[in-house]
Structure formats: C-alpha cells, structure tokens
Amino acid sequence: MLTGSADATTGQALILPLVKDPFGVFVFSQSGKTYTLVLQPQDIPGETIVIKETTSPASVAAKPGEIERAASYQQAIKKMIQALAGEGLPEGLEEKKTWEEIRLWKGSRFALEHVLTGHSLVGEQYRLFNVSDAPVRVAEQEFYKKGVLAVSVRDLTVEPGRSTQVFVVKRNEGVR
C-alpha cells in the first residue's frame, strides 16, 4: 500500500503511496496523543504536514489548583466567578480568550469570550448585547442547563445598544 522511511531524531517521515486510493496513517506525538490522517495521493510536489499541539502534556489544569483547595464547594464557585470578573487569576487555572457567537434571543447577540478551566470546574464568560430598541430584562435562570452549577449576570437590565457580562460555572466533565 505504501513505502517510506522515518528519521527518529527529527521526527520526520517520508511516505510514498503505492496506490491511488486514499489511505490512513496514525501519528503518535511525544505527549502521547494520536492523530489520524487520511491522505489522498496526488501527482504534485511533496507536501509537509506540521501538527502543532495546543497544550503541553502536563496541563496546568491537570491537578487541583487554588480554587479546588477552597474551604467549600460554594467558596470554589464564588472564586471562579470572581476570577471571571477580572478579580485576579488563581493558580491552577488555564485561561483561553475566544469569540464564539451563539444564537440566543431575537434582538440580542451573545458570545463566549473567555474560558477558565480548572481541575474540577470550568468558568465561562459571555457578553450579551441588546441590539433591540427596548430594554431587555435578563433572568439568571435562563442560562441554567444540565451541568451548570452557578450563573451570575452583571446587569439584569440591559438598555438598547448596551451589553452585560454573563458568568457561568460548570462541572469539568473531563474529571472523573
């Protein structure tokens, strides 16, 4: 099906297909991750595929941090909301800035803008924009769904053309 050679010192491999059909290869990284590639042979000059891993093998959130060592579960949730609100970043949290728009209600725009991941909790900061002509009343209960432990809305009434922050704390489902 294919022939090739690999250089263990550089981690590079040369793959020469012997067929015209697509075929799969597995790439194993030093961090232990496995990547599956489906390759389609083409009559073109050689191409290089670079796989960049986004997190280090010893992730910051892999072990309990300051939030998880709080005196109570309620205290841990409170500390996560404070961290989302910009009151300092406790050790043991991974921080990710993002911008993912989510459909919510007519007359609004809603986007995830910040995620903090801890060993047992995940905090999400959203931005809610009122793009209607009337004030919008926000109820924290509207953001509860399965897995959500706490919700906090900075301003419960959002005037036209204004925005507010919504903080959501969930259980980290990656932890058993």
Please say if the pLDDT value at position 175 is more than 60: no
Task: Provide Rg for the chain, Cα atoms.
Answer: 23
Task: Tell which residue, 77, 69, 64, 4, has the closest CA to residue 39.
Answer: 4
Handedness of CA 102, 107, 108, 109 (dihedral sign): positive
Residue 56 pLDDT class (50, 70, 90 cuts): very low
Task: Record the tokens describing residue 4, joined without a space.
Answer: 């090739």
**Residue 67 and residue 87 in contact, taking contact as beta carbons nearer than 8 Å:** no
112-164, pLDDT tens digit by residue? Answer: 999 999 888 899 999 999 999 999 999 999 999 888 999 999 999 999 999 99
pTM for this prediction? 0.61
Question: Between these two residues, 153 and 14, which has the higher pLDDT value?
Answer: 153
CATH 2.60.40 domain span(s) along the chain: 60-171
The CA angle 25-31-36, to the nearest 5 degrees, is 20
Level-2 CATH architecture, domain 60-171 = Sandwich (2.60)
Task: Record the tokens describing residue 1, joined without a space.
Answer: 């099906």
- Helices and strands, counts by H and E, the chain: 1, 11
Share the mean pLDDT of the chain.
Answer: 82
Q: How far is Cα 86 from Cα 151, in angstroms, rounded to an integer?
A: 16
